[in-house]
C-alpha cells in the first residue's frame, strides 16, 4: 500500500502527522475542559454549601414547626447531620449531590429533583421560544445597523435594542398584560393553560405546546400558545436587544479588516460583503453570544415568571426564598450554575467549529 501511494505521488506521512497533531490538541482541550468543569462544579458546591450554613433560616425549625418538643428538634437536627463537623457535612452534601439525592422540599414535601423536573420544562419552553424570536429578529437588525452605520436605520435599530435591553421587564410585563390582555383581549392571561384544558392534556414532555400536539388537543394548543406569546415576546425583546447590539459590533469590526477593502476594490456591494462574507466570519462570536443569552433566559426569568404567574424555575426559586426553603433554593442555584457551565462549553465548541483561529488556539 505504501509503495502504491508513493507511486501515485502521494505522501501520507504529513497527513498522519496532521491527524496526530489534531488528536493531541483535541485531547488536551477535552482534558482542560473536564478539569475546568470539575473545578467550577466543586466551587459551586462549596458556595451553595456555605450559603446553606450562613443563611439565617433554621431548616430544623422549618421542618418540625414552632411547637415541637426539644427531643423532636434534636432528632431532626441529627438526621440533617448538623451535629457533625463541617467537613463531614460537606462530604455528605457532595455525595448526595453526586447521587442525585437533593433532599425534600420543606414546602411541597416532595423530592426537590421531582419539583425541578416539573418546573424547569416551563422555563425551557419559554426561553426557547424567546431565544428563537431574539435570533430571528436580532441578527437581521444588527446586520442592517452595521450596513447603515450612523444613519437612520442604524439609529432606529440601536434605539430598539436599547429599549429591549434597558426597560425593566416587570414594567413591560404589566403594561403588556394591561394592553394586550385586559384591554384588547388579544392574548390569554397569566399561567400556562386555562383551567378548562389543564386536566385534559396528559403531561408527557411537560412542554405544553408539544403535549397538546401529541394529545391532538388543538384548542388547548391554541390556548397554550396564547398564554406563551406575550411573556416569550418580552423576553425575546431582551434577547433581541443584546444580540442585535453585539452583531452590529462584530460586523463593524469585520468591515474594518483588510479583506473587506479588497472585496470593495473588486466591486462587491456593501450588502454583499456583509451578508456573504462578514456575517460568516462573525458567526462564531455571534453564536457564542446567542448561547450565553439562552443560558441567561434558562436560568429563570424571575420577574417575567412572577408577573405572568409562569410556573417555571424562576418562580420556583422565588417561592422557595419567601418560604425559607433553603434546600430547594440551593439546589436550583446549583442547577443554574451547571446550565451556565454547559452552555459555555457548548459555545466554545460552536466557535471552534466555525472559526479556524479558535481551533488553533
What pLDDT, on the 0 to 100 scale, is given for residue 249? 92
Q: Residue for cell digits 418546573?
A: 119
Tell me: pLDDT of 7 over 60.
no
Closest CA to 331 of 122, 106, 64, 38: 106
The residues near 129 (Cβ < 8 Å, ≥ 6 apart) are: 228, 232, 236
What pLDDT is recorded for position 356?
Answer: 59
How confident is the model at residue 50, as a pLDDT? 83
Query: Which of these, 166, 154, 189, lies nearest to 310 by C-alpha position?
Result: 189
Contacts of 195 (CB under 8 A, 6+ apart): none
Residues 227, 192 contacting (CB under 8 angstroms) = yes
Domain ranges for the chain, please list them. 120-323+336-360
Buried b (16+ CB within 10 A) or exposed e, 150-169: eeeebeebbebbeebbeeeb
Higher pLDDT residue, 134 or 20? 134
Residue 132 has pLDDT above 90, yes or no: yes
Mean pLDDT of 257-275: 85
CB burial of residue 15 (10 Å; 0-12, 13-18, 19+): exposed
pLDDT of res. 2:
47
Q: pLDDT confidence of 300, banded at 50, 70, 90?
A: low
On the CB side of 121, how many CA atoms lie within 13 Å of its CA?
15
Q: Which fold has domain 120-323+336-360?
A: MetI-like fold (1.10.3720)
If you search the block for the grid coordinates 425549625, which residue do you land on? 61
Given a cut of 70, whether residue 331 has pLDDT beyond it is yes
Amino acid at each position: 500500500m505504501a509503495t502504491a501511494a508513493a507511486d501515485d505521488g502521494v505522501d501520507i506521512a504529513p497527513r498522519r502527522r496532521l491527524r496526530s497533531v489534531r488528536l493531541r490538541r483535541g485531547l488536551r482541550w477535552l482534558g482542560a475542559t473536564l478539569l475546568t468543569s470539575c473545578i467550577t462544579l466543586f466551587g459551586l458546591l462549596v458556595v451553595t454549601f456555605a450559603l446553606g450554613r450562613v443563611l439565617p433560616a433554621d431548616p430544623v425549625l422549618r421542618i418540625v414547626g414552632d411547637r415541637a418538643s426539644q427531643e423532636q428538634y434534636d432528632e431532626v437536627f441529627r438526621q440533617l447531620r448538623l451535629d457533625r463537623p463541617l467537613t463531614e457535612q460537606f462530604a455528605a452534601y457532595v455525595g448526595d449531590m453526586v447521587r442525585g439525592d437533593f433532599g425534600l422540599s420543606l414546602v411541597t414535601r416532595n423530592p426537590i429533583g421531582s419539583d425541578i423536573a416539573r418546573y424547569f420544562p416551563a422555563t425551557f419552553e419559554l426561553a426557547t421560544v424567546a431565544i428563537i424570536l431574539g435570533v430571528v429578529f436580532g441578527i437581521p437588525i444588527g446586520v442592517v445597523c452595521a450596513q447603515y452605520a450612523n444613519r437612520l436605520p442604524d439609529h432606529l435599530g440601536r434605539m430598539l435594542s436599547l429599549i429591549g435591553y434597558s426597560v425593566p421587564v416587570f414594567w413591560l410585563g404589566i403594561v403588556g398584560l394591561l394592553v394586550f390582555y385586559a384591554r384588547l383581549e388579544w392574548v390569554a392571561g397569566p399561567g400556562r393553560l386555562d383551567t378548562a384544558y389543564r386536566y385534559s392534556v396528559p403531561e408527557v414532555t411537560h412542554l405544553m405546546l408539544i403535549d397538546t400536539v401529541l394529545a391532538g388537543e388543538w384548542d388547548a394548543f391554541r390556548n397554550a400558545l396564547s398564554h406563551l406569546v406575550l411573556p416569550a415576546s418580552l423576553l425575546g425583546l431582551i434577547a433581541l436587544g443584546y444580540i442585535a447590539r453585539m452583531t452590529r459590533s462584530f460586523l463593524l469590526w469585520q468591515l474594518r479588516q483588510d479583506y473587506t477593502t479588497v472585496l470593495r476594490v473588486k466591486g462587491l456591494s456593501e450588502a454583499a460583503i456583509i451578508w456573504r462574507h462578514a456575517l460568516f466570519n462573525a458567526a462564531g462570536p455571534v453564536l457564542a453570544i446567542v448561547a450565553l443569552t439562552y443560558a441567561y433566559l434558562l436560568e429563570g426569568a424571575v420577574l417575567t415568571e412572577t408577573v405572568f404567574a409562569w410556573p417555571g424555575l424562576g418562580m420556583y426559586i422565588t417561592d422557595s426564598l419567601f418560604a425559607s426553603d433553603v434546600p430547594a433554593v440551593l439546589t436550583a442555584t446549583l442547577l443554574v450554575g451547571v446550565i451556565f457551565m454547559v452552555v459555555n462549553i457548548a459555545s466554545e465548541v460552536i466557535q471552534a467549529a466555525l472559526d479556524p483561529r479558535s481551533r488553533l488556539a
